[in-house]
Amino acid sequence: MKELVESIRNKVFEALPEPARASRPELAEYARMLREYPQRGGKMLRGALVLLTARAYGSDEAALAVAAAIELFQNWVLIHDDIEDDSEERRGGPALQRLWPLPLALNAGDGLHALMWRVLVEAGARRKIMQEFVRLIETTAAGQHLDLSWVQQGRFDLNADDYLEMVRKKAAYYTAVAPLRLGALAAGQLPHLSFTSAGLDLGAAFQIIDDALNLEGDPAEYGKEIAGDLWEGKRTLILIDYLSNAPAQERERAEELLRLPRAQKEAAEVAWLHERILASGAVGRARRTAEQLAAPALEELQEVFATLPNPEAARQAIDLLSGLVERRA
Amino acid sequence: MKELVESIRNKVFEALPEPARASRPELAEYARMLREYPQRGGKMLRGALVLLTARAYGSDEAALAVAAAIELFQNWVLIHDDIEDDSEERRGGPALQRLWPLPLALNAGDGLHALMWRVLVEAGARRKIMQEFVRLIETTAAGQHLDLSWVQQGRFDLNADDYLEMVRKKAAYYTAVAPLRLGALAAGQLPHLSFTSAGLDLGAAFQIIDDALNLEGDPAEYGKEIAGDLWEGKRTLILIDYLSNAPAQERERAEELLRLPRAQKEAAEVAWLHERILASGAVGRARRTAEQLAAPALEELQEVFATLPNPEAARQAIDLLSGLVERRA
């Protein structure tokens, strides 16, 4: 697995521009901006899942470029997400728009987006692979619109189904469905239909656990700001559950706080809400929901992978998929 | 020409999502955001240039999708530009991030970017066309980085060559070079080398004239805020020329104003600078520079087009190219 991640990382850095080769100091700075998030590491789970799935199907020749491209997707989308969410931290460092002015960071995200397509085009990726990338960007952007519009419009009339629809689009598709489908396509095979249904459930479970870690993760391991979701006013399943069970007065106080932009929130108030949510049992209930989504999805995927020609790669892919919902950081 | 523009417009709108078909009200709103800039019209110069160039080469079958894609490029890049420049107006209406919260507008730009690739992928565009799109996005983003970094860092140690390098990357490549090259590629031919050299000069002239119109255009025809470049602190050729010829005290006052963010600029001070620039003769000098860049470039392109199999389309393409540097809005 370490070797696998290293090979994807090399492919990503092969594509990134070298500051030393820039024609002007400003463009060297631009190259450094494009490299900033990739350089911080990242677990490359999605790229590894592409490669292992392709191997399980019997051929990973075309998969390395696809794996690098989905990691480049992750990097440019995180740059734009961090601006959209007014986030503080990413992978243990300041968000890009806190190191450089926001307009430069936004533009660097677009440059990295183009680089993602460059990797695919230069590798001669087949049309079905290109179509899958279009779909994954469109799906993620639609989910991001839901997430952002709820925050921007101060909406709290949301239930668990609203959250699940948002998170399937915003996170589950590109985290689980797309890598599985791309792995099959890179091996020249048609993706199994279960990749979509089970991938959406498993990916939603992944995001629920991410939301839980945001509230109770180990600050030393978790690469983002603890309770950042509260600062950003994110409508998580945990928050929706907590609010629907909170006494009227407490709910009112929480919603008032969540409606404020980050700069107007007081740390003591955020700490109060954080403590109330942890005391409410909502995190544990969300983890159980994640478990209920993940268990049958993993079983279904295990059955599909059991039919594939390379059992060793299939086992590693299933390990990785299980790891998505068992992680602590 | 009107029919041509209509056909590109239809192809663009065919690709855009329909609000009425969205699964939730939030996603209908998202679809409306994607349609906002395309709906305001725009002259579709770049798309028309792709189509006419392909016709001049003898085959425009594959060109319509490419023309629509370059117009979609223009639309998503304007959404992001308007955020990056903190612009007020676009095509006679408020900038997208003034109608919706900035995070939603940024995300809609990404959605439109994906749609651009969808049009190309669905049309089965050839690899060389995909490569040209990657190049045009990368070139534009590098130029945009130069432009933005000079504003953000309050830099005034710039000369005409710095401006020309920036503007070739930021505007000339996608306005002239890429449409000419894409037209040839869509017709299955290799682009003439003059398309790059002459296109860069003609496109730079186009941008210089745009800068001039920003200062002395007819507010009824010009779709953006008059003197918006001063509010945004843009380092135009006109400004660089004006500053280098202004008395020390005046220059100091101008630079102090230009360094301020939009919200801190006073209208009276901007009006003062606007008046001083108009009185300095810098606009006329910039127009002459544009003329000196455009004339030989147009001549060179005319010679190339004279060798192509469809003289009627070639004549229309040359008319359009001449129009780029003769426009009043």
Q: Say if A99 is an interface residue toward chain B (CB within 8 Å).
A: no
Which of A160-169, B209-218, B292-301 is predicted least confidently?
Answer: B209-218
**Which of B26, B97, B151 is the best substitution to test chain A (most A C-beta atoms within 10 A)?**
B26
Which amino acid, residue A269?
A: E
Residue B89: phi and psi, rounded to 5, are -130, 155
Between CA B113 and CA B15 the distance in angstroms is: 12
ipTM associated with this complex: 0.95
CB pairs under 8 A between A and B: 133
Query: Which strand (E) or helix (H) includes residue B14?
Result: helix B2-15
The minimal CB distance from A107 to the residues B30, B84, B150 is found for B84
pLDDT band at B228 (very low <50, low <70, confident <90, very high): very high
Cβ proximity of A143 and A169 under 8 Å: yes
Q: What is the pLDDT of residue B250?
A: 97
Nearest chain A Cα distance for residue B303, angstroms:
32
Report CB contact under 8 Å: B148, A117: no
At residue A296's C-alpha, the angle toward residues A290 and A300, to 5°, is 135
Q: What is the pLDDT of residue A329?
A: 60
Other CB atoms within 10 A of residue A84 CB: 26
Within 13 Å and on the Cβ side, how many CA atoms surround B141?
A: 25
The minimal CB distance from B141 to the residues A77, A114, A124 is found for A114
Average pLDDT, chain B: 96
Query: Is residue B243 classed exposed, middle or buried when 0-12, 13-18 and 19+ CB atoms within 10 A define those classes?
Result: buried
Please give the residue of chain A at the shortest CA–CA distance from B133: A114
Q: Say if B99 is an interface residue toward chain A (CB within 8 Å).
A: no
The minimal CB distance from A127 to the residues B124, B134, B146 is found for B124
Q: CA Rg, chain B, in Å? A: 20
**Which of A74, A121, A163, A169 is the best substitution to test chain B (most B C-beta atoms within 10 A)?**
A121
More confident residue, A218 or B109: B109
Range of the domain at B163: 2-326
pTM of the model: 0.95
pLDDT tens digits, one per residue of A87-115: 999 999 999 999 999 999 999 999 999 99
Between CA A280 and CA A243 the distance in angstroms is: 10
Cβ proximity of B187 and B54 under 8 Å: yes
Helices (H), ranges, B260-310: 267-280, 282-306
Instruction: Compute the 3-state secondary structure of chain B and give helix, strand, coil in percent, each to the nearest 5.
Output: 75, 0, 25
Between CA B153 and CA B136 the distance in angstroms is: 26
**Which of B76, B81, B147, B149 is the best substitution to test chain A (most A C-beta atoms within 10 A)?**
B149
Query: Which strand (E) or helix (H) includes residue B266?
Result: none
Average pLDDT, chain A: 96
User: Residues with Cβ < 8 Å from B134, sequence gap 6 or more?
Assistant: A114, A117, A118, A121
Between CA A148 and CA A146 the distance in angstroms is: 6
Nearest chain A Cα distance for residue B319, angstroms:
32
The minimal CB distance from B146 to the residues A26, A108, A121 is found for A26
Report CB contact under 8 Å: B133, A117: yes
Nearest chain A Cα distance for residue B142, angstroms:
7
| Mean pLDDT of the B16-38 span | 97
Portion 12-71 of B in contact with A at CB < 8 A: 24, 26-27, 29-30
Please give the residue of chain A at the shortest CA–CA distance from B130: A121
| Model confidence at A310: pLDDT above 90 | yes
Which chain B residues are within 8 Å of A146, Cβ to Cβ? 24, 26-27
Q: What is the pLDDT of residue B41?
A: 85
- Torsion sign over Cα B7, B110, B153, A17: negative
Overall number of domains in chain A: 1
Between CA B304 and CA B317 the distance in angstroms is: 11
Report CB contact under 8 Å: B27, A145: yes
| Mean pLDDT of the A132-147 span | 98
Please give the residue of chain A at the shortest CA–CA distance from B145: A104
Report CB contact under 8 Å: B24, A165: yes
**Which of B145, B151, B162, B174 is the best substitution to test chain A (most A C-beta atoms within 10 A)?**
B145
Which of A150-164, A213-227, B205-219 is predicted least confidently?
Answer: A213-227
| Mean pLDDT of the B34-39 span | 97
What percent of chain A lies above the pLDDT cut of 70? Answer: 99
Q: Which residue has the tokens 């507010």?
A: B219
Which string of DSSP letters, residue by residue, matches B86-147?
A: T--EETTEE-HHHHS-HHHHHHHHHHHHHHHHHHHHHTT--HHHHHHHHHHHHHHHHHHHHH
pLDDT tens digits, one per residue of A14-46: 999 999 999 999 999 999 999 999 999 888 999
| Mean pLDDT of the A291-319 span | 97
Which of A50-64, A220-234, B145-159 is predicted least confidently?
Answer: A220-234
Nearest chain B Cα distance for residue A260, angstroms:
14
| Model confidence at B209: pLDDT above 80 | yes
Report CB contact under 8 Å: B145, A80: no
Report CB contact under 8 Å: B106, A83: yes
| Model confidence at B329: pLDDT above 80 | no
Beta bridge partners of B89: B94
User: Three-state DSSP class for B233?
Assistant: coil
| Mean pLDDT of the A237-254 span | 96
Q: What is the pLDDT of residue B220?
A: 77
Report CB contact under 8 Å: A107, B137: no
Which chain B residues are within 8 Å of A30, Cβ to Cβ? 142, 145, 149
Q: CA Rg, chain A, in Å? A: 20
Which chain B residues are within 8 Å of A86, Cβ to Cβ? 103
SS3 of chain A: the string is CHHHHHHHHHHHHHHCCCHHHCCCHHHHHHHHHHHHHHHCCCCCHHHHHHHHHHHHCCCCCCHHHHHHHHHHHHHHHHHHHHHHCCCCEECCEECHHHHCCHHHHHHHHHHHHHHHHHHHHHCCCCHHHHHHHHHHHHHHHHHHHHHHHHHHCCCCCCCHHHHHHHHHHHHHHHHHHHHHHHHHHHCCCCCCCHHHHHHHHHHHHHHHHHHHHHHHCCCCCCCCCCCHHHHHCCCCHHHHHHHHHCCHHHHHHHHHHHHCCHHHCCHHHHHHHHHHHHHHCHHHHHHHHHHHHHHHHHHHHHHHHHCCCCHHHHHHHHHHHHHHCCCCC
Q: Say if B156 is an interface residue toward chain A (CB within 8 Å).
A: no
| Mean pLDDT of the B269-275 span | 96
The minimal CB distance from B30 to the residues A114, A115, A142 is found for A142
pLDDT band at B223 (very low <50, low <70, confident <90, very high): confident
pLDDT tens digits, one per residue of B110-145: 999 999 999 999 999 999 999 999 999 999 999 999
Nearest chain B Cα distance for residue A139, angstroms:
9
| Model confidence at A199: pLDDT above 80 | yes
C-alpha dihedral (B269, B275, B279, B285), degrees to nearest 10: 90
Between CA B38 and CA A295 the distance in angstroms is: 45
Between CA A233 and CA A241 the distance in angstroms is: 15
The minimal CB distance from A30 to the residues B113, B137, B142 is found for B142
User: Residues with Cβ < 8 Å from A290, sequence gap 6 or more?
Assistant: A204, A205, A206, A208, A209, A212, A325
pLDDT tens digits, one per residue of B40-73: 988 899 999 999 999 999 998 899 999 999 999 9
Report CB contact under 8 Å: A144, B107: yes
More confident residue, A120 or B60: A120
Can you give the CATH number for the domain in which A65 is found? Answer: 1.10.600.10
Nearest chain A Cα distance for residue B18, angstroms:
14
